[in-house]
Amino acid sequence: MNDEQNIPAATTFGQFLQMLEDGELHEDLSNKLLQINETLNQHFQDYGGKPKAQLDLSIKFSLERGAFTIEPSFKTKLPEAPRGKTVAWSTKDHRFTPANPAQLNMFGVREVGGGTSEVKQL
Protein backbone atom coordinates (compact mmCIF):
# COMPACT_ATOMS: atom_id res chain seq x y z
CA MET A 1 0.00 0.00 0.00
CA ASN A 2 1.26 3.47 -0.92
CA ASP A 3 1.89 5.78 2.08
CA GLU A 4 0.72 8.83 0.10
CA GLN A 5 -2.81 7.41 -0.02
CA ASN A 6 -3.15 8.00 3.74
CA ILE A 7 -1.95 11.61 3.67
CA PRO A 8 -4.77 14.16 3.56
CA ALA A 9 -4.30 16.34 0.49
CA ALA A 10 -6.35 18.92 -1.36
CA THR A 11 -7.68 17.53 -4.63
CA THR A 12 -9.77 20.57 -5.62
CA PHE A 13 -9.15 24.30 -5.53
CA GLY A 14 -11.92 24.65 -2.94
CA GLN A 15 -10.20 22.16 -0.64
CA PHE A 16 -6.87 23.90 -1.23
CA LEU A 17 -8.42 27.27 -0.33
CA GLN A 18 -9.91 25.84 2.87
CA MET A 19 -6.49 24.46 3.82
CA LEU A 20 -4.71 27.84 3.63
CA GLU A 21 -4.05 29.57 6.95
CA ASP A 22 -5.81 26.68 8.71
CA GLY A 23 -9.14 27.81 7.25
CA GLU A 24 -8.87 31.46 8.29
CA LEU A 25 -8.49 32.69 4.71
CA HIS A 26 -11.61 30.77 3.64
CA GLU A 27 -13.57 32.24 6.56
CA ASP A 28 -12.35 35.77 5.80
CA LEU A 29 -13.25 35.41 2.12
CA SER A 30 -16.69 34.04 3.01
CA ASN A 31 -17.31 37.02 5.29
CA LYS A 32 -16.07 39.38 2.58
CA LEU A 33 -18.56 37.87 0.11
CA LEU A 34 -21.39 38.65 2.54
CA GLN A 35 -20.10 42.21 2.90
CA ILE A 36 -19.93 42.65 -0.88
CA ASN A 37 -23.50 41.39 -1.26
CA GLU A 38 -24.81 43.64 1.52
CA THR A 39 -22.89 46.70 0.29
CA LEU A 40 -24.07 46.33 -3.31
CA ASN A 41 -27.69 45.91 -2.23
CA GLN A 42 -27.50 48.92 0.09
CA HIS A 43 -25.77 51.05 -2.55
CA PHE A 44 -28.45 50.15 -5.10
CA GLN A 45 -31.20 50.98 -2.61
CA ASP A 46 -29.61 54.33 -1.72
CA TYR A 47 -28.42 55.49 -5.15
CA GLY A 48 -29.78 53.13 -7.84
CA GLY A 49 -27.64 52.45 -10.87
CA LYS A 50 -25.45 49.40 -11.32
CA PRO A 51 -23.10 49.21 -8.32
CA LYS A 52 -20.00 47.08 -8.74
CA ALA A 53 -17.49 45.45 -6.43
CA GLN A 54 -14.29 43.55 -6.95
CA LEU A 55 -12.47 40.87 -4.96
CA ASP A 56 -8.88 40.09 -5.94
CA LEU A 57 -7.23 36.94 -4.59
CA SER A 58 -3.47 36.52 -4.87
CA ILE A 59 -1.54 33.41 -3.90
CA LYS A 60 2.25 33.45 -3.92
CA PHE A 61 4.13 30.16 -3.97
CA SER A 62 7.78 29.49 -3.20
CA LEU A 63 9.60 26.18 -2.94
CA GLU A 64 12.63 25.66 -0.74
CA ARG A 65 14.17 22.28 0.12
CA GLY A 66 11.04 20.42 -0.88
CA ALA A 67 8.62 22.51 1.20
CA PHE A 68 6.20 25.05 -0.24
CA THR A 69 5.56 28.40 1.37
CA ILE A 70 2.14 29.68 0.33
CA GLU A 71 1.22 33.31 0.96
CA PRO A 72 -2.38 34.21 0.15
CA SER A 73 -3.77 37.73 0.22
CA PHE A 74 -6.90 39.44 -1.01
CA LYS A 75 -8.29 42.90 -1.40
CA THR A 76 -11.72 44.23 -2.19
CA LYS A 77 -13.02 47.30 -3.92
CA LEU A 78 -16.50 48.37 -2.87
CA PRO A 79 -18.67 51.11 -4.39
CA GLU A 80 -18.46 54.52 -2.78
CA ALA A 81 -21.27 56.98 -2.28
CA PRO A 82 -21.45 59.44 -5.15
CA ARG A 83 -20.02 62.87 -4.43
CA GLY A 84 -21.48 66.17 -5.57
CA LYS A 85 -19.97 68.31 -8.32
CA THR A 86 -18.97 71.95 -8.17
CA VAL A 87 -18.68 74.40 -11.04
CA ALA A 88 -15.92 76.95 -10.55
CA TRP A 89 -13.97 79.54 -12.52
CA SER A 90 -10.47 80.90 -12.25
CA THR A 91 -9.64 84.40 -11.07
CA LYS A 92 -6.84 86.44 -12.64
CA ASP A 93 -4.55 85.41 -9.79
CA HIS A 94 -5.37 81.68 -10.36
CA ARG A 95 -7.72 81.03 -7.45
CA PHE A 96 -10.99 79.13 -7.75
CA THR A 97 -14.24 81.06 -7.45
CA PRO A 98 -17.89 79.96 -7.64
CA ALA A 99 -18.73 83.21 -9.49
CA ASN A 100 -17.97 83.69 -13.18
CA PRO A 101 -15.71 86.77 -13.25
CA ALA A 102 -16.80 87.53 -16.84
CA GLN A 103 -20.46 87.78 -15.87
CA LEU A 104 -22.15 90.81 -14.33
CA ASN A 105 -23.14 90.15 -10.73
CA MET A 106 -26.78 91.22 -10.56
CA PHE A 107 -27.74 89.51 -7.33
CA GLY A 108 -24.79 90.08 -5.03
CA VAL A 109 -24.38 92.81 -2.44
CA ARG A 110 -24.93 96.22 -4.06
CA GLU A 111 -24.72 99.72 -2.73
CA VAL A 112 -28.04 101.49 -2.60
CA GLY A 113 -27.97 105.28 -2.68
CA GLY A 114 -29.77 107.18 0.03
CA GLY A 115 -32.95 108.56 -1.44
CA THR A 116 -34.87 111.61 -0.44
CA SER A 117 -38.20 109.89 -0.56
CA GLU A 118 -40.42 110.03 2.46
CA VAL A 119 -40.97 106.89 4.54
CA LYS A 120 -44.66 106.06 4.59
CA GLN A 121 -46.32 104.67 7.65
CA LEU A 122 -49.33 102.44 7.43
State phi, psi for 2 to the nearest 5 degrees. Answer: -80, 130
Q: Compute the distance between CA of residue 76 and CA of residue 54 in angstroms, rounded to an integer.
A: 5
User: In the predicted model, is pLDDT for residue 1 greater than 60?
Assistant: no
Residue 85 near residue 98 (C-beta atoms within 8 A): no
Judge if pTM exceeds 0.75: no
Per cent of the chain over pLDDT 70 is: 87
H-type alpha helices, 48-103: none
Q: Where are the domains of the chain?
A: 8-77
Whether pLDDT at 105 is above 80: no
State the pLDDT at residue 103. Answer: 81
> Amino acid identity of 19?
M
The pLDDT score that the predictor gives to residue 120 is 75
Q: How far apart are CA 74 and CA 54, in angstroms?
A: 10
29 sits in which H/E element: helix 24-47
